[in-house]
Amino acid sequence: METIGFIGLGIMGQPMAENLREADYELVVYNRTEEKADQFVEGGGEKASSPREVAEKSDVVITMLPDSPQVEELVLGEDGVAEGVSEGKLYIDMSSIAPATSRRVHEVLEEKGVEAVDAPVSGGQPAAESGDLAIMAGGSEDAVERARPILDVMGKAVTHIGPPGAGQVAKAANQVVVALTIQAVAEALTLVRKSGVDAAKVREALLGGLAQSKILEMHGERMLEREFDPGFKLSLHRKDLAIALQAAREEGVPLLATAQVAEVMNALLASGHGDDDHAVIARFYEELAGVSDAESATS
Amino acid sequence: METIGFIGLGIMGQPMAENLREADYELVVYNRTEEKADQFVEGGGEKASSPREVAEKSDVVITMLPDSPQVEELVLGEDGVAEGVSEGKLYIDMSSIAPATSRRVHEVLEEKGVEAVDAPVSGGQPAAESGDLAIMAGGSEDAVERARPILDVMGKAVTHIGPPGAGQVAKAANQVVVALTIQAVAEALTLVRKSGVDAAKVREALLGGLAQSKILEMHGERMLEREFDPGFKLSLHRKDLAIALQAAREEGVPLLATAQVAEVMNALLASGHGDDDHAVIARFYEELAGVSDAESATS
C-alpha cells in the first residue's frame, strides 16, 4: 500500500485524511496549526515538520488548502512539496484554487517528473465525512487513473474533466451555477412572501416543473425554515466566486450575473453573515423588502 | 356535462381546447382572428361572435390570452365575458398575467356572483398538447375544487397555491427562477468553453451535485447542441419577467438579478432572437466572449 502525504487538516481535510487512514493507507501529515496534526496522529500516522518532509516520505502527496496563495506557498515555496518530491511520485491538489495557479503547479511538478492531478471537490463537510464527495479531476489520463483508487476512498463520483486545470474550471463553473441558483430562488420566494402567498406551496409546485433544482429543494427549504447554520459558509462561496471571476477576466468572459451576486455576498459579509450558510442570500432580499422572520415563518 | 366556453385559440389555447373537446365537453369558442375559430369548430363545437356570447352560452368560461391587457379587454371590456356571465357560473383564466390584474378580475366577477380561478400553466406547447401542463391555481377552495376536473384534463399536476391571484404570483416566481437558472448555466458553460474545457463533461459532472437542475439538464444540452428552436420563446419569457418586475415594484421587492437578466433578454430581442428558445441567453455570452458556433460544437 502506498504511503500518502496529506497537507491541510481543516474542516474538509481532516475527515478526508481519516477516510484514507481507515482504508489502511499509511499517512504522513502536515498542518500549519500543529495541534491539529498532533490530534490527528493520535489515531495513527506520522507528523512531518514541513510540506517538504511530507513529500520526501510519501509516494502520493495530497493538499487540501483554503485558496491559491496557500497552495503556492506550501507547494512551490520554501520547504514546499516541490522541494521534496522526486520522479515517479504523484501529487493531487484537492483544494479549490484558480485554474491558472493550478496549471502553474502542474508545470513545475512535470519538470521534476512528477504527475499531478487537480481534483477539487463538492459536497461540503458532510460528504467529506461520509466519503461521498463529488470530485472533478484535471490532468493526464495516466495521472487521473493512478489517482482514482485514492480518490474513490474520499468520493462517490470521480469525473475526469480534462487536462491540467480542468478540474478547477469545472469547480468554478459549479460555484457560479450554485450561487446564481440560490439567488434565483431567493428573489422568487421573497416576491412570493411579500405578495402574501404561501412560499412553501409555491416551492412545492415549482419543484414539479422546469424550475426544479437541488437548490430549490434544499436551500429553498432552508429559506422557509430559517436554517442558516452552515452547510456551506457564505465567505467560502464568495472566495470561490473570486476565483471564477478572475478566471473569467483572464479568459475574456464577462460574467455579469456572477459579478452581481458577488456584490450581494459582499453586502452580507459586511453585515456579519460570512459564517452563515450561503442560503442566507435570501436575507439580503428580505431585509431590503422588509420581510421579517416572523412573517417568513408563518408564510 | 358542462358546456365550456374557450377564448383564445393560440399556440397554447388551441391544443388545450382540443383536449377538452376530446374529453367530451361541449365547447363554445371565440378567437380574435376568426379563421382559427372556424378551423377549430370543423372538429366540433360552436363559434361565438364575442366573449360576451361565449359567456352567455357556457357554464364555465376559460381564457388563454397573451397578457394582462387582452384579459382586461376581453373580460372586463365591451362585449366582454363579464357582460355575459350570470350567477353560479365559473371563470378560469389560464393566461399568465399580472397578479394585480388577476385580483381585479376576481373582484369584478365576484360582484356578479361568479366564482373565478386564476390558473396559469407551465410546460409550454408540448405539455399543452399532451395534457401534461403544470397548473398553479389561485382562488377560493370551492372555486378551485369545482375547476379541478376540467383542469385535470389539461394538466398533470394542479396545485392550489392560495387566494385569488396566488396562481399568478407562483407563475411569476417560476419564470424568475427559470430565467435566472438559464443565465447561471449560460455564464458557467461559456466560461468553461472559453477555458478550452469540455463543456459536455462539466455539465455531466455538475448534474451529479448541488448545481443539478432541470435547466442544466435540458437547456444545458440545448446550449451544447446549438438547438435554439423553441421550446419557449425568449420574447414570451421577457413578457413574463415584465409581469414579475411590475409585481415586485408594487410589493416593494427589488429583484436585482431579474432586472438584470431582463436587460440581457432586451439585448437579444434587439438583435433578432425573440423567436428563439430562451436557452439562447447563452449566445449573449458567447458573442461577448467571442466563442464561435464551431468552437462551441467541438468543445
* CA distance, residue A177 to nearest chain B CA (Å): 5
Closest-approach residue (CA) in chain A for B180: A184
Query: Residue B111: which pLDDT band, with cuts at 50, 70 and 90?
Result: very high
CATH of domain A4-163: 3.40.50.720
- pLDDT at residue B299 is higher than 50: no
Q: Please, which residues 248-277 of chain B have a Cβ atom closer than 8 Å to chain A? A: 248, 251-258, 260-261, 264
Residue-wise pLDDT tens digits, A277-297: 999 999 999 999 999 765 554
Question: What would the mean pLDDT of A222-244 be, rounded to a whole number?
Answer: 95
Question: In A, which residues are within 8 Å of B248 by CB distance?
Answer: 191, 194
Distance to chain B for A26, nearest Cα, Å: 30
> Of A202, A258, A268, A298, which to mutate for an interface test with B (greatest number of B Cβ within 10 Å)?
A202
CATH no. for A169-298: 1.10.1040.10
CA A263 to chain CA centroid, nearest Å: 20
| Model pLDDT, residue B57 | 98
- pLDDT tens per residue, range B9-39: 999 999 999 999 999 999 999 999 999 999 9
Instruction: Identify the H or E element spanning A246.
Output: helix A234-251
CATH 1.10.1040.10-classified regions of chain A = 169-298
As a whole number, mean pLDDT of residues B85-89 equals: 97
pLDDT single digits (tens) A20-53: 999 999 999 999 999 999 999 999 999 999 999 9
Question: B181, B240, B296: best mutation site toward chain A, by most A Cβ within 10 Å?
Answer: B181
pLDDT in tens, B35-67: 999 999 999 999 999 999 999 999 999 999 999
pLDDT cut 70: percent of chain A above it = 98
> Which H, E and C letters describe chain B, residue by residue?
CCEEEEECCCCCHHHHHHHHHHCCCEEEEECCCHHHHHHHHCCCCEECCCHHHHHHHCCEEEECCCCHHHHHHHHHCCCCHHHHCCCCCEEEECCCCCHHHHHHHHHHHHHCCCEEEECCEECHHHHHHHCCEEEEEECCHHHHHHHHHHHHHHEEEEEEEECCCHHHHHHHHHHHHHHHHHHHHHHHHHHHHHCCCCHHHHHHHHHCCCCCEHHHHHHHHHHHHCCCCCCCEHHHHHHHHHHHHHHHHHHCCCCHHHHHHHHHHHHHHHCCCCCCEHHHHHHHHHHHHCCCHHHHHHC
Here the ipTM equals 0.95
Q: Do B197 and A252 touch (CB under 8 A)?
A: no
- Which residues from B are below 8 Å from A244, CB to CB? 191
List of chain A residues whose C-beta atoms are within 8 Å of the C-beta of residue B174: 188, 205-206, 209-211
Question: Any CB–CB contact under 8 A between A86 and chain B?
Answer: no
Rounded to a whole number of angstroms, the CA Rg of chain B reads 21
User: Would you place residue B293 in the very low, low, confident or very high pLDDT band (cuts 50, 70, 90)?
Assistant: low
**Which of B298, B50, B86, B63 has the alpha carbon at shortest distance from B197?**
B298
Closest to B284 (Cα-Cα) out of B261, B254, B251: B261
- Judge residue A285's burial from the number of C-beta atoms within 10 Å of its C-beta, 0-12 exposed, 13-18 middle, 19 or more buried: buried
**Interchain CB distance below 8 Å, B169 and A197:** yes
Chain A residues with CB under 8 Å of B214 CB are 209-213
A298 band by pLDDT with thresholds 50, 70 and 90: very low
Q: What is the pLDDT of residues A83-136, one digit of tens each?
A: 999 999 999 999 999 999 999 999 999 999 999 999 999 988 889 999 999 999
- Whether residue A299 is predicted with pLDDT greater than 60 in this model: the reply is no
| Tens digit of each residue's pLDDT (9 = 90 or more) over B230-284 | 889 999 999 999 999 999 999 999 999 999 999 999 999 999 999 999 999 999 9
CATH 3.40.50.720 in chain B, residue ranges: 4-163
Mean pLDDT on B148-163: 97
Q: In a mutagenesis test of the B interface, which of A194, A203, A253 is the best target, namely the one with the most B β-carbons within 10 Å?
A: A253
pLDDT of residue A292: 76
Residues 159-198 of A with CB under 8 A from B: 159-162, 165-166, 169-170, 172-174, 176-181, 183-185, 187-192, 194-195, 197-198
What's the pLDDT score for residue B298?
45
Contact A177 B188 (CB under 8 A): yes
User: Rounded mean pLDDT of chain A?
Assistant: 96
CA-based nearest distance A185→chain B, Å: 6
Question: Is B295 a residue whose pLDDT tops 80?
Answer: no
